[in-house]
A = this chain, B = another copy of it.
Amino acid sequence: MNERISKLKRIMKQENIDHVLVTDYYNLKYFINLDLNSGERMIVLLVSKDKENILFINELFSLPSSKHYKSIYYNDTDDCISLLSNHLSGKEIYIDGKWTASFLLRLMTRFSADYKDASHLITKLRAIKDTKEIQLLLKASLDNDEVMKKIFPYIKLGISEKEIYNHLLLEIENLTHEPVPFDPIVAFGKNASNPHHISNDTILQKGDVCLIDMGCRHQGYCSDMTRTFLQKNEKMEEIYEIVKNANRLAIETIQPGKKFSEIDKVARDYINSFGYGQYFTHRLGHGIGLEVHEGYDVSSTSETVIEEGMCFSIEPGIYLPDVGGVRIEDLVIVSKKGAIVLNSFSKEKQFILKGLSYR
């Protein structure tokens, strides 16, 4: 049996859980490497403590057979929920948190049990990356570096955010041939003071920063990196150094056994010590993997303990309303000895190239 399902079964035995129903696209990709969007049609991987795994799937999506599970095909006229409920037993059924109410409510009328949310179990497993996953995450981050290098020369006075944004999408598509994990952010000048700015027709003007937050995918695994490029501007250069050091100090603090809140605190305290605490308005980071946000947050309230193999972002920022903002974001993997940064694109102060303007 594959190692990921085996781990889930070990937890089920420890906690005496009879059944877990895996239904979400990403969870199915994680456990059985299935890349299938079944639309409105039910798809359930039934993982049982002591029995073989069964995939319930519509016959429209025929799959090669697998040694990791048996497949039960149904058609559009079958009662797929009855087929599933016939294979259930016990008092507690753990359900993928992403399953829809329509299916869950139907199952509840067929099989009486105590239904519980399996999200925490699956999140915990997915948070610890194996060697294969680390390789894919690293490649996705190297692709990100590569695209950022190609984009940098385009950043010139007179260009618009949307033009850089379009270049970015094109370079990512050409390099990776995979969908982007999220809409990239390109923000100039005061637009960079909004952490979630949507790129528009704003033109790059003298003194403006250019903030780029982007990601690629490699075999589904996501990367996520932010860099902020400068022009001569005392205030922005000042906060750049603070954010850069906050990023570095947080990364240096990461160790298995520490809590996420401790890492967040290091960056937040540092930014606070310069009086900019109120302008760092979001959590320090987020887990990442098959989804761009998965697993655990790096936040002031997260008591979760860091473990070897976790992958997450470290992305301090200072956002000065109506002035501008700086964010520097890296992905890290946790090793025994601490964090390994997946991006290699420089974090040293970089100035937008001078010369002829774009137009």
Chain A interfacial positions (CB closer than 8 Å to B):
39-40, 77, 95-102, 104-106, 108, 115-117, 119, 293, 301
Contacts and interface: CB of A to CB of B under 8 A. Distances in A.
B102 A100 contact: no
- In the complex, the count of this chain's copies comes to 2
A95 B104 CA distance: 11
Contacts of A99: 100-101
A76 to B, nearest CB: 9
A79 to B, nearest CB: 14
B106 A102 contact: no
A99 B101 CA distance: 5
Contact of A301 (B77, B102, B105, B117): B77
Given A77-B301, A301-B77, A101 B102 contact: no
Contact of A101 (B39, B77, B100, B293): B100
Contacts of A102: 97-98, 117, 119
A39 B98 CA distance: 12
Given A97-B100, A104-B105, A105-B116, 12 more contacts: A40-B293, A77-B301, A95-B101, A97-B101, A97-B102, A97-B105, A98-B102, A99-B101, A100-B101, A101-B104, A105-B117, A106-B117
B97 A98 contact: no
Contacts of A100: 97-101
14 contacts: A39-B293, A40-B293, A77-B301, A95-B101, A95-B105, A97-B105, A98-B100, A99-B100, A99-B101, A101-B104, A101-B117, A102-B119, A104-B104, A105-B117
Nearest to A24: B100
Nearest to A108: B115
A96 B301 CA distance: 31
A174 B18 CA distance: 53
A77 to B, nearest CB: 7
A98 B98 CA distance: 10
A179 to B, nearest CB: 11
A297 B96 CA distance: 28
Contacts of A39: 293
A70 to B, nearest CB: 24
Contacts of A301: 77
Contacts of A97: 100-102, 105
Given A77-B301, A100-B97, A100-B99, A115 B105 contact: yes
A98 B39 CA distance: 12
A62 B128 CA distance: 35
A77 B293 CA distance: 18
Nearest to A39: B293
A156 to B, nearest CB: 25
